[in-house]
Structure 1
Amino acid sequence: MAVPEWLISDVRARAHLHRESRPGRVGAWPGWLPDEVAAAFAEVGVERPWLHQQQAAASLHGGHPTILTTPTASGKSLGYLAPVLAATWGGTECSPPEVDLGRARFRWAKRPHTALYLAPTKALAHDQWALCRRLTEAGLPTWRTIAVDGDSSTDDRMWARDHAAYVLTNPDWVHAALLPSHSRWSGFLSSLRYIVVDEAHHYRGGFGAHVAMVLRRLLRVARHHGADPVVAMASATIGDAAAHVAALTGLDPDAVTVVSESTAPAAALDTVLWQPRDHHDIETAVLCSQLIGRGRQTLAFTSSRNGAEKVASTTAEHTGERVESYRGGHLDLDRRAVEQGLRDGSVRGVAATSALELGVDITGLDAVVCSGHPGSLSSLWQRFGRAGRSGADALAVLVAADDPLDAWLLDHPEVLASRTFEPIPVGVGNRNIVAAHLAASAQELPLTEDALPLFGAKARELVDELVAGKVLRKRPTGWYWTRPDRAVDAISLRTIGPGGVEVTDIETGQILATVDAGSADRTVHPGAIHVVRGVPWQVVDHVADSPIAWVEPAQPGVRTAAQSVGGVEVIGTESTAEAGVGTSGLGEVRVTSQVNQCLVFDEYSGDVIDNFAVDRPMRTLDTEGLWWELPSATAAHMTPKGRFAAAMHALEHVVTALLPGFVACDRSEVVAVSDPGGARLVIHDLVPGGGGFIRMIAPRAVDLMQSARDLLEACPCTDGCPRCIVSVRCPDHNAALDKAGAAWLAGLLCPDG
């Protein structure tokens, strides 16, 4: 499919990139793979592996930790499944019991090696289990596999423990169930040959740090039971993949095999960067309609559930074809029907959220249209990778959103062409997280001196603090947990600090949504309008730090924005550097914030129509920060009074928006805060103690500020727009912004300023 002339001849097409098609390079099944396993692969459509699959399988079989970071639809799963099957399929002599004994289970003497698969979601683990069952039905009836998680029955968990050779689950279940009762799992753990970590790029920041500690605990317990498992990882294409494996496991990065070059066939791909005149979702629907109307099966990605529904319904209305939405909240049965419709051609288009990114087997489409940059080049290419039917060219279009990151990419298409991907930050240096998992590990097995290096350089210091706090007790044989409760119950892998707040209908008691505790002050204070799946609800009652916010239906067309007071101060400096006429620094910062007011505004015009006082407590966050500081006299050069603060506020917006272009993060993980009084701009983690984001951004601080300056100077608007300084996420409702002043300040902080 040649790129349509009507598309690239339009003035809205800002850039056009072309990638030639690539033939596949086929490998051979290794001699160590049982013939029956090779036959089962053939039965499900895999006659022979691609060379990159063969390379990954050989590395894993040879005992080397390995990560596959090849693109979407390159067959990463087979790269680890081949060695896993060779180890865990026991042949006909290891068939499972024919009689269902209910709870009267017994340990199966001939269980072969075992393997453990970890996915970031329950749904993905069950999807992978479905693939396992296909292989079982294709000629491996004795391969004992099962997916287990917190929703599994007691019988299923006992069967997994006593009989399964391949268990598919998630890190949360390993943390809360398997590790605390590892002695009961000794049969499984003592023969553990492989640990498979799928979608490894999702483990970043605070969540990544927790998962890293769980993996270290798992490796320690497995070695205690006599096993030395090999780690296999699969990931989207990322920067410095070996370092990511090391961060998650504590293994030596030099020992990691990285398989990043795909040898699977790839269709020619034309990529178009599109600058819309209308809202990006509206123009996405128009482009999808034109493509589908010309017979091209098309997948659109949107940033929200509402966006997916609107794009799907609008496109279906314009084309008369079957166009479906695909998002979180849909039943599994409905999602599978959409997937099958794409495969058999009855569904001509789909509008999806990121729910389609996690291991879902939808590829080979004629075109992909992305409504807005997803935040990282890795995610963008993952989405584009869904396009490309065998023997036909493919098309990918990025419809830019009104956002500085999108605008920056439109002006720098060479960044997209370079396919240079962001590294993944993991906050393994976070003292709070490491200390909590040291306590959990000590309850599983007494901590010994030789075990501490697995938990990082600060482990011994943290153990001493845990002893001083009477959490651990030092004995001649190691450090022991001292309390009657379970250490793991004090650790939530997916939240930092207190648990979330349930948004609950006051009339019915139905839980409508969950809000992270860190954002509850702004989003569920009394009087706030909270939108759930496009429906506005007004908070009737919520006491600060309580787990429930009671809501009732809200007046349509009205929205609220919380206002706050606070500040940021540097409490520890690790390093400094010159930054133009100013300086930059890396260290520890203290951020204070108190929500004290709320603006009420019209949803459509954006006009403020009311305001009211809010009483929330002062919050303090100690975390890692990176800052730029201008000479104190800078403000005197900007008149009238208040212009310096407005310029700092605008620069804060631009830097925040550009951050995902420099490190894999989103705007709920790292933010910028301006401190006009101190002539300082600070970006900081939202994870107490740091999530690793700031340390990964710090070496590129100069590039980040130069990009901010270039974007501000290139934007054609006069006083600011959503493509430069106006942010829909601004808690101050974009009050007091100065674009020209922000460009001047950014220039002062650049080396050539």
Structure 2
Amino acid sequence: MAMSGELKSFVSSLKRSHRLAAEVVHVEDIAAREAAYGEPDPPLPPGLVRALAAQGVERLYSHQATALNLVRAGRDVVTATPTASGKTLVYALPVLERILAEPSATALFLFPLKALEQDQMSALNQLALHAGLGPVADIYDGDTPDGRRRKLRQKPPPVIISNPDMVHAAICAFPSAWDNFLSRLKYIVIDEVHAYRGVFGSHVASVLRRLLRLAAKRGSRPSFVLSSATIANPGEHAEALTGRPFAPEQIIDFCGAPAAGRSFVLVNPSGAASTTASYLLAQAVGQGLSTICFTKSRIHTELIHTWVTRAHPELKGLVAGYRAGFLPEERRGIETDLAAGRLAGVVTTSALEMGIDIGGLDLCILVGYPGSQINTWQRGGRVGRAGRDSAVVLVGGPDALDQWVLSHPAEFFAQPVEAAVLDAANPQIVAQHLVCAAAEEPLAVDDEFLPPVGHPEAVRLAMEDGKLLLDAAGTRYFTPRKRPQRLVDLRGAGESLAIVDHKGTVVGSFDGVRVFKEGHPGAVYLHRGRTYLVKELDLEHRKVRVTPLDADYYTRARSDKETEILEETGRRPVANFLVRKGRLKVTEVVNGYERRRLSGGDLMGVYPLELPPLTFETVGLWMDIEDVVRRSLERAGRHFMGSIHALEHVAIAMFPLFALCDRGDIGGISIPLHPQTGKAGVFIYDGVPGGVGLAERGYGLIEELLEKVEELLATCDCEEGCPACVYSPKCGSGNKPLDKLGALMLTRLLLGKLPLEEAEPCAAPAPQVIAPPPVRSREHPLAYGVFDLETQKLANQVGGWNNIHLMRVSVAVLYDSVRDEFISYSEDQVLDLIKRLSELELVIGFNHMRFDYQVLSAYTAADLRSLPNLDLMLDVQQSLGHRLSLDALAGATLGAAKTADGLQAVDWWNQGRLEELTAYCQADVELTRDLFLRGQEAGHLLYANRDGQCLRVPVDWSWPSLRERLA
């Protein structure tokens, strides 16, 4: 084993190396962390104290002790701490303690990888043995022989170790076979919960609800003990996954475990990242450093392993490849050899990312940024696990996300980790699990765990296909399907297509979304280190027929896309644009594909395709691009379509900085004129039917996302665009047109960092309609409200009066006659104001129809002008033939005056003087209310003409007249 001095020498040599010195862009030294301990209350039983001592554990870390006390109290717990922080004891100790006190108790341990199951079974049984219990755990998964499965069902051990796929297909699907185990179930332990995100996580959320439902019918309510890598939203993610609330004290996101020092080296290679990684791996192993090298693909795993062993024959027995597709015994052999020190290096995909015990490694090489901070630290956490110093070397690739990390090391190391995102209410996914649940036990309309009444769209989808049927009483759902679980793939969002080779052997599968892009005729498909050529896409029989091919190229689909807005579910103003969200229908036609050389990615040719359109409904966000923005870009000589197209690419590339996803999980489209909005727009949407929560998160963080877009565009050294900024490897139009400088200008215009040109007013698009409330008797006073609002910006700051909707609310005040009080609203309470306005029988304002409602249109798609409105300014204008100001009417009629004006209000907002701003707005509301009441009482208002004469303006605001007008 290498000493820390040798490791430091290796890191130092990188900065002095003739080959790499110019390519090492940053070295971050991460200090060691001291341990913090805690005491369980009450103390652990003697048997467990002995078991811990046998493993060299004398005291528990603070996070372990805190979690243990919570689990003992019957609370659900999620622990989100770094790799190698002792999370295993968090769930092992309370489970073993319960089994010691209650031998009939059972627990279900779930892991995302089979290798983790083996590792954890060994660790748990070893701990149990020293505690005087003997073996308590056994594995029930796809590799378990049928005879062994039968015995485990008939006489289950206290702990069953499995995975979500088996819970779905073999436990929930056969509930009566598991009566004995489920009726005594006390704990559900889920390790690596950050892995349950996107489509997979959304499926697992429904599987867990089905499992809880079956357990409840057998009289048990198990507690959840969850563990995760450090993520931004452990409590929120745990709630989405389990369906149970997690209070702050149930979230353990502090860590008492110690950590050794670590050096993190960022390398921006002049050549290919894989070539540089091969060189580093050979050098490290040659110097006696135990090294793990992570790649992004199976083919690069194979290539780097081959290059290293061919160039350095002496390392052939010391370096191994490791990836999916290896036999279980091959994988276990490599893991054992690594842990024992017989292997000095391993090249792997993400298959070795999670907490399998592979011993104390010294160096981790990352070939390309793994796509998220979570994956980066998870992979980096595979080294230094024996309490020794370690190092991580990130060799960046040419794409935008890699280059951003390499160019912003300070921000990268200071930035919080991403959030894990799933959508437990995805109708496409929930529909499949409602059918499964109905097959397992009749499903009540208001079921506690998976209520059909709470998922109307999912029920509609399932009933449309005849998969879900209501009983005669209309209270329970059944399904005519037998074993519908077999048709549900937890890793996909829809029914899959089998990939069949020339011998008829199934070698894999595609879901319905991916097949058109990756399974079209002529596509190259990689599976288990082998290359296949797609010969036929048979949609009728749901098969993709392939034949082996030794290819030196890969393929990439080209396509045209369009999107239809099905429903808008939210909108808000951001600087100089509106961001909106809602349900979308995306139609994509794959019209061709490219062949690109495997080494270097050079384009070899483009080939046409004729395929049916791919249409799916999903959730997305979109940014309205105003005409004034387009004109600003065109005046500057920028290509408008190229600008919005480039912005779309970079936004998608930067998206994984905020949500735990791959850029392939999200889609985008830029449109110079959308037929529904009447404007240009940039759409970003979840790339799977129904959505999985990614666009929803992006909607809330759009400002931060655009800041990252601007930063990348401004710092990339290229002149016209490159793979490090605006080029996308997944672009359906071959990365044309793209305007990098236009995208930078566009981003700054949207964020309000560049001024907008003023434009002439034009008509706004027709909004939706809110039905007015029912009208009461003619003699009864109407429930009315008087309101006014102030804005954050002046008209000349948003491109003129045509863009009132971009001025944003600073404060609004409503006089509510029902409550007889003034209520103030900040910008984040605007929807509450709109809700209250829609409940009133009469909304009164002064010029609110033309101005205030235009400002509010940035926050709602509803047509507020369809409410029962009385605009005093418009009423007076209709009577006189010209407008009068609020100040003029109030001065003559009430002997009162406005206390300030709109310019002063914006100044107050900019200075943060909110009390004065609110008081001014309320004073205007009082003036408007008092004018209304005086006019109602007297039948007129007063004003002074140009000659100084005081004249009457007749008004008819009596309740009967207003009721007749509003009817």
Task: Identify whether the pair has TM-score above 0.5, normalized to the shorter chain.
Answer: yes
What TM-score do the two structures reach when normalised by structure 1? 0.89
Identity of aligned residues (%): 34
Deviation at 1:722, TM superposition (A): 1.6
Deviation at 1:33, TM superposition (A): 4.1
Which residue matches 1:346? 342
Q: Deviations over 1:340-366 (max 9, x none)?
A: 333333322222210001331135322
Which residue matches 2:122? 130
Deviation at 1:444, TM superposition (A): 3.3
- Change over 3 Å in CA distance of 1:602–1:23 after alignment to 2: closer
Which residue matches 2:314? 320
- 1:661 corresponds to which letter in structure 2? L
Which is worse superposed, 373-382 or 563-572?
563-572
Contact 1:453 1:459 in 2 (8 A): no
Q: How does 1:274-673 map to 2 (within 5 A)?
A: 274-316=267-309, 317-318=311-312, 320-321=314-315, 322-388=318-384, 390=386, 392-418=388-414, 420-448=416-444, 451-452=447-448, 455=451, 458-459=454-455, 471-474=468-471, 478-483=475-480, 485-504=482-501, 506=502, 508-532=503-527, 536-544=531-539, 546-554=541-549, 556-604=551-599, 608-632=603-627, 635=630, 637-638=633-634, 643-673=639-669
SS of residue paired to 1:11: helix
CA distance in 1, matches of 2:248, 2:136: 31
Aligned residues: 732
Q: Does 1:199 align with 2:192?
A: yes
Contact 1:363 1:385 in 2 (8 A): no
Which is worse superposed, 673-682 or 60-69?
673-682
Deviation at 1:726, TM superposition (A): 2.2
Deviation at 1:685, TM superposition (A): 0.6
SS of residue paired to 1:732: coil
SS of residue paired to 1:550: strand
Which residue matches 1:149? 141
- 2:84 corresponds to which letter in structure 1? A
- Change over 3 Å in CA distance of 1:692–1:493 after alignment to 2: same
Query: Which one has more relative contact order, counting CA pairs under 8 Å at least 6 apart?
Result: 1
Deviation at 1:537, TM superposition (A): 3.2
- Change over 3 Å in CA distance of 1:545–1:746 after alignment to 2: farther
- Change over 3 Å in CA distance of 1:640–1:597 after alignment to 2: farther
CA distance in 1, matches of 2:323, 2:463: 47
Q: Which residue among 667, 670, 676 is the counterpart of 2:672? A: 676
Q: How does 1:133-282 map to 2 (within 5 A)?
A: 133-135=125-127, 138=130, 140=132, 142-163=134-155, 164-254=157-247, 257-282=250-275
Q: Deviations over 1:130-153 (max 9, x none)?
A: 333434555646444221124434
Which residue matches 2:110? 118
- Change over 3 Å in CA distance of 1:734–1:408 after alignment to 2: same
Which is worse superposed, 39-48 or 648-657?
39-48
Which is worse superposed, 25-34 or 514-523?
25-34
- Change over 3 Å in CA distance of 1:434–1:530 after alignment to 2: closer
SS of residue paired to 1:74: coil
CA distance in 2, matches of 1:522, 1:740: 30
- 2:722 corresponds to which letter in structure 1? C
CA distance in 2, matches of 1:742, 1:320: 51
Q: Does 1:690 align with 2:726?
A: no
- 1:134 corresponds to which letter in structure 2? Q
Deviation at 1:463, TM superposition (A): 5.5
Deviation at 1:35, TM superposition (A): 3.0
CA distance in 1, matches of 2:161, 2:222: 16
CA distance in 2, matches of 1:38, 1:332: 34
Q: Deviations over 1:328-381 (max 9, x none)?
A: 222333333333333333322222210001331135322212111111111111
- Change over 3 Å in CA distance of 1:287–1:250 after alignment to 2: same
Deviation at 1:474, TM superposition (A): 5.0
Deviation at 1:502, TM superposition (A): 0.8
Contact 1:446 1:477 in 2 (8 A): no
CA distance in 2, matches of 1:42, 1:234: 23
CA distance in 1, matches of 2:479, 2:389: 63
Contact 1:216 1:454 in 2 (8 A): yes
Contact 1:236 1:378 in 2 (8 A): yes
Deviation at 1:290, TM superposition (A): 3.2
CA distance in 1, matches of 2:53, 2:12: 41
Which residue matches 2:844? none
CA distance in 1, matches of 2:600, 2:420: 39
- Change over 3 Å in CA distance of 1:726–1:460 after alignment to 2: closer
CA distance in 1, matches of 2:152, 2:119: 17
Q: Does 1:736 align with 2:737?
A: yes
Which residue matches 1:49? 60
CA distance in 1, matches of 2:428, 2:385: 48
Deviation at 1:243, TM superposition (A): 1.1
Deviation at 1:511, TM superposition (A): 4.0
CA distance in 1, matches of 2:464, 2:514: 33
- Change over 3 Å in CA distance of 1:34–1:456 after alignment to 2: farther
CA distance in 1, matches of 2:142, 2:162: 9
Structure 2: give runs of 5+ residues left out of the alignment. Answer: 675-679, 755-967
- Change over 3 Å in CA distance of 1:425–1:133 after alignment to 2: same
Which residue matches 1:703? 704
CA distance in 1, matches of 2:216, 2:449: 15
What TM-score do the two structures reach when normalised by structure 2? 0.71
Which residue matches 1:76? 87
Q: Which structure: larger Rg?
A: 2
Which is worse superposed, 627-636 or 397-406?
627-636
- 1:279 corresponds to which letter in structure 2? A
Contact 2:445 2:477 in 1 (8 A): no
CA distance in 1, matches of 2:372, 2:187: 30
SS of residue paired to 1:80: helix
Alignment RMSD (CA, Å) = 3.0
Q: Which runs of 4+ in 1 moved over 6 A?
A: 464-470, 639-642
Contact 2:556 2:730 in 1 (8 A): no
CA distance in 2, matches of 1:530, 1:135: 45
- Change over 3 Å in CA distance of 1:445–1:748 after alignment to 2: same
SS of residue paired to 1:337: helix
Deviation at 1:28, TM superposition (A): 5.4
Contact 1:628 1:749 in 2 (8 A): no
- 1:751 corresponds to which letter in structure 2? G
CA distance in 1, matches of 2:449, 2:40: 39
- 1:747 corresponds to which letter in structure 2? R
- 2:656 corresponds to which letter in structure 1? P
Which residue matches 2:901? none
Contact 2:121 2:161 in 1 (8 A): yes
- Change over 3 Å in CA distance of 1:509–1:248 after alignment to 2: same
CA distance in 1, matches of 2:413, 2:193: 24
Deviation at 1:724, TM superposition (A): 0.9
CA distance in 2, matches of 1:606, 1:184: 53
Deviation at 1:462, TM superposition (A): 5.6
SS of residue paired to 1:542: strand
Which residue matches 2:25? 14
Contact 1:448 1:477 in 2 (8 A): no
